[in-house]
A and B are shown apart, each in its own frame.
Chain A
């Protein structure tokens, strides 16, 4: 496949000096964002952006390995790219020589053909996109008399193309589109206020379901009205699919081979051991086109593949990029991730899925009988530590009494450790939902969590 972006990446790679390794990541994209408020367009953003990230490897002194330098720029202008290459080259001189520092080489794994591009993102008129946001805002305001305010209703979409080429023979191109609808609803009764967020995602505007976003926001806000703190207790906690997706993202960082080789994961040294209940199987599969993070190639241009990380509760493997794999004495699992053109590759998950069970959320409530259903959590970045496994988050939701949802609860925390939680899963829902981020989610019940309240 030839295209302009890949040609550009290759032309920069050709400027490598003798003995130098050069990897060039170029990207360009278009973003649209419409925010509706109070029946009008509050803001409309439409912009193109592009950038380049270059890694240069040089042989360190005394055969001690390679030194790497990195530089990036938010431009594809030839003079800027030339300066960026020079910066990366200069930076390389200062790195510690490292025998494991190499660029990825083609490993013979064929990329899975994925169609992640929806022409509808480009062909849909701006008027239509604006109408989607306005209609979502109007419908949400009118959905329930207790909805007091809709603080924002957004339509956004993006088109992104990435090309990657290197002196080691990497040459890859991928592209994808995303479309997104989201709404923040505020419900009120008397002096009390509660909030709910809903969204719908797709590859293009045609896949979006405004009612799904609206219902989610309205139900989540209104059912919290009357919420109170409850006394501290130990109980079973049922997590909503959206919360489970967030929690899996934290578990993912402990499954990164880079965290493991650097002694920063509670999973280190536990391959082959039981780390979760028997029914727990966790797969990272970016080749599943339904996943938000789906992609044919990873951040080093290798083919993405399906990796089974935990199988029936037993830890099977970690995800690796090229360098962390060498440090661990293994091969890349096609799991290099990078934060756009300004980031360098590291090992990470893109599309985690917990193998679903068969029960619906209501059936799980019925089985659990008594406990707390958590619809959203806060403080994940401050209260969940993927190194120690300590887990403590703010939570809101509803009590489960007699097998069904009862009164709403706010201003409580739920706490445990990630290690204990994986061993205390009592129900895995069949209600798998593809969500934005690095993980899908379904309802999950975990026993013996510490609930802190009054």
Chain B
């Protein structure tokens, strides 16, 4: 079976992480044991402490000025107590034992009064993770980061006189988490993420157009050894410039060819969200009860994989302390499994798949994607275009949105072209595409070999988490394109 470039050799699971403790624990294990025990005094099935220490830095260059450097720090713990079907949750910025105990009492207040009883919690050995080969962002001089912004600004402006505005952003974060629960779990992770993005505005006779490009990885400053900021800037500028001559996108159902790495957002929206177990257990997904059924073209093998080192949705343990997995969701078109967190897995008497994530200690975890990608196929990307008499070639996708219950979803183009007689021709203005998940997945009739991934931010129920999306060039025989022509 073909495997994607990034999911390929040398990319394993959490074993690739060093097992050394990288820093002092956020909370002493003895304190954790006492807090967890007291949280269950009034009853309850499970108590959990999620402690987080996050430090972020960002810099923004806009309108030729370094407008602002920003530093942020956030530190606290979220405590949940699960009692039957009910979860109580409280959070605090006070990591002292009295502070944690107060939050534990608040979280436990929802637990039924099961009569006072002593529950002793004994934590297992710490499973700690951290990679020693990263360049922590706070070890990099601020002036060096700013130089990257200036270089990108100059490269974008050099791309064409019509580039009238450039905004360059750079950000990094270090997030240390510690998770302990009354089942004895004790785990921690040290997550370093770095992103760089450029937005260009180009101005022409037909008005203004925008171009956006970003890179983002779960690693330190070494991301810039892999990516030149000038390249990122030029891609953003080129995207804005080409659209100055764009014609309105067609309206109605058309064949679509998605370029490799254009944004696997298609799968994120068409089925990813619908395969999250919280929607499944509430019968709020079109994919409920369909394991074992053919839900997509046989060319579709879809994987959610939090283990892909360095990808934007990568981590050593999820926000419930569970290591991520390489979870095959759809295999050759057949639905094989959903994604699970602790709570929904417990309901079905199974194990979490390592998809329990949260935005911060102030949020409850829920089922979230990590890096979701379609495995590469065997077709030649140029051939796919050549064999498409007419249609639309999408070079880059923006965001999307789905209604998991109906399966209807949209995703927007930010760089697209007409395909005429098997050739890519005129650029098109931005538009949304709309389709129904299971229907669109059945209409995929070609998948190429040129796999690539893109980073994104996934929003669900008010919480944002970093995710990766990936796919090779593919064709969908018909999707409704929301243009005006």
Those 7 A-B pairs whose CB atoms lie nearest each other, nearest first? A413-B482, A382-B412, A379-B410, A383-B432, A382-B399, A91-B69, A394-B410
Tell me the A237-288 residues at the B interface (CB within 8 Å).
261-264, 266
Stretch at the interface among A6-14, A67-75, A363-371, A427-435: A67-75
B284 within 8 A of A: yes
A40 contacts B429, C-beta separation under 8 Å: no
Chain A residues with CB under 8 A of B22: none
A47 contacts B92, C-beta separation under 8 Å: yes
B282 contacts A379, C-beta separation under 8 Å: no
B482 contacts A264, C-beta separation under 8 Å: no
Chain B residues with CB under 8 A of A193: 286, 405-406
Chain B residues with CB under 8 A of A195: 403, 405-406
Q: Per-position contact with B for A438-454: 1 when CB-CB < 8 Å, else 0?
A: 00000000000011111
B349 within 8 A of A: no
Chain B residues with CB under 8 A of A392: 249, 412, 430-432, 482-484
> Which residue of B400, B411, B430 contacts A388 across the interface (Cβ within 8 Å)?
B430
Q: Per-position contact with B for A15-38: 1 when CB-CB < 8 Å, else 0?
A: 000000000000000000000011
B68 contacts A262, C-beta separation under 8 Å: no
Closest to B165 in A: A263
B436 contacts A74, C-beta separation under 8 Å: no
A95 contacts B68, C-beta separation under 8 Å: yes
A94 contacts B431, C-beta separation under 8 Å: no
Cα A35 to Cα B431 in complex, Å, equals 36
A41 within 8 A of B: yes
Interface size for B (C-beta < 8 A) is: 81
Chain A residues with CB under 8 A of B303: none
Decide: A388 near B209, CB < 8 A? Known: A378-B403, A412-B434: yes
Chain A residues within CB distance 8 Å of chain B: 37-38, 40-50, 68-75, 77, 80, 83-84, 87-88, 90-92, 94-96, 98, 126, 148-149, 151, 184, 186, 193-195, 229, 232, 261-264, 266, 342, 344, 378-379, 381-383, 385, 387-390, 392-394, 396, 410-417, 450-454
Interface majority SS (helix, strand, loop, mixed), chain B: strand
Decide: A383 near B69, CB < 8 A? Known: A46-B106, A47-B91, A49-B91: no
B87 contacts A44, C-beta separation under 8 Å: yes
Chain B residues with CB under 8 A of A389: 207
A379 contacts B201, C-beta separation under 8 Å: no
B110 contacts A44, C-beta separation under 8 Å: yes
Chain A residues with CB under 8 A of B110: 41, 44
A74 contacts B483, C-beta separation under 8 Å: no
Chain A residues with CB under 8 A of B400: 379, 382
Cα A205 to Cα B326 in complex, Å, equals 45
Cα A266 to Cα B203 in complex, Å, equals 11
Chain B residues with CB under 8 A of A186: 283-284, 405
The A/B interface has a contact count, at CB < 8 Å, of 261
Min CB distance B352 to A, Å, is 17
Chain B residues with CB under 8 A of A71: 70-72
A379 contacts B73, C-beta separation under 8 Å: no
A73 contacts B482, C-beta separation under 8 Å: no
> Which residue of A73, A383, A413 contacts B72 across the interface (Cβ within 8 Å)?
A73
Chain B residues with CB under 8 A of A263: 164-165, 201, 203, 208
> Which residue of B103, B142, B201 contacts A387 across the interface (Cβ within 8 Å)?
B201
Closest to A344 in B: B68
Pairs A–B under 8 Å by Cβ, sample size 20: A40-B86, A43-B87, A45-B88, A47-B106, A48-B92, A70-B70, A74-B72, A74-B73, A84-B71, A186-B405, A382-B401, A387-B209, A388-B243, A393-B432, A411-B408, A411-B435, A411-B480, A413-B432, A450-B484, A452-B483
Cα A151 to Cα B243 in complex, Å, equals 42
Chain B residues with CB under 8 A of A38: 85
B283 contacts A379, C-beta separation under 8 Å: no
Most A CB within 10 A of own CB, among B90, B207, B405, B436: B405
Min CB distance B38 to A, Å, is 17
